[in-house]
Amino acid sequence: MGTHRTSQLVVALTLVFASMGAATWAQNANQTATEFYLAYRVVFDKTKSVDDLRPWHSKAVQAKMDATSKEDSAMTFEMVKMLGAVTNLKVVKETKTAAGVALSVEALDADKEKTTGEVFLIREGNAWKLERERWSS
């Protein structure tokens, strides 16, 4: 997907997302894995609360969230927001796995250095859910 097309997709997702509720967008059965993740990143970048991200995560991740104290959850959320701050995000490859889909992604980190990552999504019912992300420089 070209840079211009990716930018258009992110703008389109942002506009659509603004007109819909986060939980509804997170549950859109017709989204591709890439569309789901890009929509998730719009929410991730804007949210001030881990609770806003719950609908986007798998049941297993939500269970871990529930098992964490509010204090630890708030501290972890702030750290994840800081470490997860990226710009110029691009999904460069979408690979089917036994459990769902793995996305190969690249972006610029807070220091404007190239960073790459893998994002693992699963299907729960008819919806994509985020299982985990792994970023490296």
Taking residue 115's Cβ as centre, other Cβ atoms within 10 Å add up to 16
Digit-coded pLDDT (tens) for 79-117: 888 888 999 999 999 999 999 999 999 999 989 999 999
Decide yes or no: CATH 3.90.1150.10 for domain 3-136: no
Residue 1, SS3 per DSSP: coil
The whole-angstrom distance between residue 13's C-alpha and the CA centroid of its chain comes to 13
The per-residue pLDDT for 83 is 83
d(C-alpha 90, C-alpha 36), whole Å: 13
Q: What is the pTM of this model?
A: 0.77
The predicted-structure confidence for 29-69, as pLDDT tens digits, reads as follows 688 999 999 999 999 999 998 899 999 999 999 999 999 99
Q: Where are the alpha helices (DSSP H) in the chain?
A: 3-18, 22-26, 33-46, 59-66, 70-83
pLDDT at 91: 97
The strand pairing partners of 122, in sequence order, are 100, 129
